[in-house]
């Protein structure tokens, strides 16, 4: 129960920083609170206190079920659903339901075929930002994730992480029926279909 879980969290102030520390990080003039570490400014002190956590690393909202801690209460609420399995955001067009509203929004695009992320260089558009980013690299050729062990470089961090397992021999996906292990889930799936088809439940 998320509401029960949150009663464990102390309400307190938005930040544990003392008054003096706040004014060492923020300039206050004419009711406007301006962050001295970036360009963020607001008239609401509470908003600034929350913003400062990005710089200080303060994470006052602690999960009581695991060591995770968060800078925002809303993020803790989302996280607790990974423990409880609660999926309060149902799709009204199919039986799917989701723990996060943003995941439901992404899912709905499979029904509406909405493609809100457009390429500024061509007519291509995409339902997900990650797909647009991947596409943009076809124009720019940018491959910011470089391997320290060989000359390979990658446009996406996910692809880079999978590649690094080749060097570290990390087998993140292990077969339950033999000693085989694989760096990618799809490779494990192929292995199971090829060698252990008869052992499926």
What percent of the chain is predicted at pLDDT more than 90?
A: 26
Q: What is the pairing mode between strands 117-118 and 41-42?
A: unpaired
Kindly state the helix (H) or strand (E) to which residue 26 belongs, with its residue range.
strand 26-29
CA-to-CA distance for 184 and 165, rounded, in angstroms?
A: 9
Mean pLDDT, rounded, for 85-109? 91
Q: Which of 69, 74, 65, 57 is nearest to 16 (CA)?
A: 57
- pLDDT at 5 > cutoff 50: no
The pTM for the full model equals 0.47
- For residue 15, what pLDDT is reported? 41
CATH (residue range 2-84):
3.30.160.60
Give the model confidence (pLDDT) of 67-78 as tens digits: 999 989 999 999
| Angle 39-43-49 from CA coordinates, rounded to 5° | 70
Mean pLDDT of the residues in the chain = 80
- pLDDT at 112 > cutoff 70: yes
Per-residue confidence at 171, pLDDT binned at 50, 70, 90?
A: low
Boundaries of every domain in the chain:
2-84, 174-201
- pLDDT at 14 > cutoff 80: no
């Amino acid at each position: 129960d998320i509401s029960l879980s949150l009663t464990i969290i102390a309400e307190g102030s938005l930040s544990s920083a003392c008054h003096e520390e706040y004014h060492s990080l923020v300039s206050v003039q004419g009711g406007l609170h301006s962050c001295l570490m970036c360009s963020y400014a607001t008239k609401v002190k509470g908003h600034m206190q929350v913003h400062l956590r990005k710089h200080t690393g303060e994470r006052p909202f602690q999960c009581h079920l695991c060591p995770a801690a968060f800078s925002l209460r809303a993020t803790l609420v989302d996280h607790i659903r990974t423990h409880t399995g609660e999926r309060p955001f149902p799709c009204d067009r199919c039986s799917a339901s989701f723990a996060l509203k943003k995941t439901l929004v992404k899912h709905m695009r499979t029904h509406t075929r909405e493609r809100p992320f457009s390429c500024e260089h061509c007519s291509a558009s995409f339902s997900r930002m990650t797909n647009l980013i991947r596409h943009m690299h076809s124009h720019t050729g940018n491959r910011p994730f470089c391997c320290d062990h060989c000359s390979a470089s990658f446009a996406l961090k996910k692809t880079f992480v999978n590649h690094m397992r080749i060097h570290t021999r990390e087998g993140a996906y292990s077969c339950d029926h033999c000693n085989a292990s694989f760096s990618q889930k799809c490779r494990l799936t192929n292995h199971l279909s090829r060698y252990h088809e008869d052992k499926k439940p």
